[in-house]
Structure 1
């Protein structure tokens, strides 16, 4: 078992329309297991994100966060967060493992639009609308009080971040685990399975889109297990 003092730092990339605060319960749970965490705010999500806020801006924030950390790092990406992680972690020398949680694990040349077979809009300024029922899509298996709190924290998401194309894929050179959420009502599990085939390893969870909110302690135990069984250095 990895000693607490030698455990990697866990850097978390939150999903679209979300903020770092949504990960507070899981950060507390992994801290009990000896992990330091960082959840940088991605500029594409906010109350008033810049009209030109891009996936590349998000990737640069992640890249900078990694540069500030001494010692090994494991990067955990959720949902949209998988795209800037794939872009921004490429070339990082201190990242030992990637965890994609119901996340977009795209390859170079792909964007969220192209991956879904959609045409990229000619005007990518402005924001991408939130789905009609985010409670059902994101939190259908989350307790009512926590779901209501999470819904109240949702913000706007720049449209451009969904349209930007990945130029390099970190998972080509860094080992990875894909966590398929088998009862996901946001990203279809079959689509997640397609991306999971790109990962070094994968697991299927019997959860909705946000297990880090639905069961933080159980999710933290899973992350701890994955990290301890993965290489701690490249």
Structure 2
């Protein structure tokens, strides 16, 4: 039995995975969806605390793991999976894929912030940028559940890049308005393989069955 660990992106909580988890369970997978401490009502944590939470969760799983990070979560999974012997495959879903010493700021080619304390503003026009292919009612519901995110999570640099040693798949979301597909393709060039899905930034909401089938294909090839 393989466990698929799903790691949410910035401003989100694990509840965003509910639809995808249902589809993965139907395909016979166990799932885990840990909460990152850099997201919440009054968060203060950064990348390294997020990675530590994920490493602890990974250590509690005995069976093989496919570790999937969406968007921001690509950064902490890159650090957390290092040395985790159960992780058979990393999946970057429209995600940042840093090399050692890189951060979200680095990957966008912008200077590090002078002050790493405080909160990072919510992405502009989330209805369009995050949920462009969702129906209005569902998009409104999901947006009502968004939380705060720390600057530290975007500014801190990873100490290690697990994808150097663990096979990885990058799933490019071809209609993405949050992380431009061109930037995704650039990062994806580092991965063992590239897959694509015709969706906006959050296919786990708009196309959960298709995404689950794609994860199944990837897991079976691991």
* Range class of TM-score, shorter chain: over 0.9
State the alpha-carbon separation in 1 of the partners of residues 161 and 74 from structure 2.
10
- Counterparts of 1:55-204 in structure 2, within 5 Å, are 55-204=47-196
Segments of 5+ residues of structure 1 without an aligned counterpart are: 1-6
Aligned with residue 26 of structure 2, among 32, 38, 42: 32
Aligned twin of 1:208: 200
Q: What stretches of structure 1 move > 4 A for 4+ residues in a row? A: none
State the alpha-carbon separation in 1 of the partners of residues 170 and 47 from structure 2.
21
State the alpha-carbon separation in 2 of the partners of residues 69 and 200 from structure 1.
24
Aligned twin of 1:3: none
Q: Spell out, residue by residue over 1:57-81, the C-alpha distance to the aligned partner (whole angstroms, 9 max, x if none).
A: 0000100000001111110110000
Instruction: Name the SS for the 1:204 alignment partner.
Output: strand
1:47 Cα offset (Å): 1.3
Segments of 5+ residues of structure 2 without an aligned counterpart are: none
State the alpha-carbon separation in 1 of the partners of residues 136 and 16 from structure 2.
15
1:126 Cα offset (Å): 0.5
Aligned twin of 2:39: 45
RMSD of Structure 2 on Structure 1 (CA): 0.8
Aligned twin of 2:6: 12
TM-score, normalised with respect to structure 2: 0.98
1:22 paired with 2:7, answer no
1:115 Cα offset (Å): 1.5
State the alpha-carbon separation in 2 of the partners of residues 39 and 62 from structure 1.
10
1:146 Cα offset (Å): 1.8
TM-score, normalised with respect to structure 1: 0.93
State the alpha-carbon separation in 1 of the partners of residues 83 and 197 from structure 2.
30
State the alpha-carbon separation in 2 of the partners of residues 131 and 16 from structure 1.
10
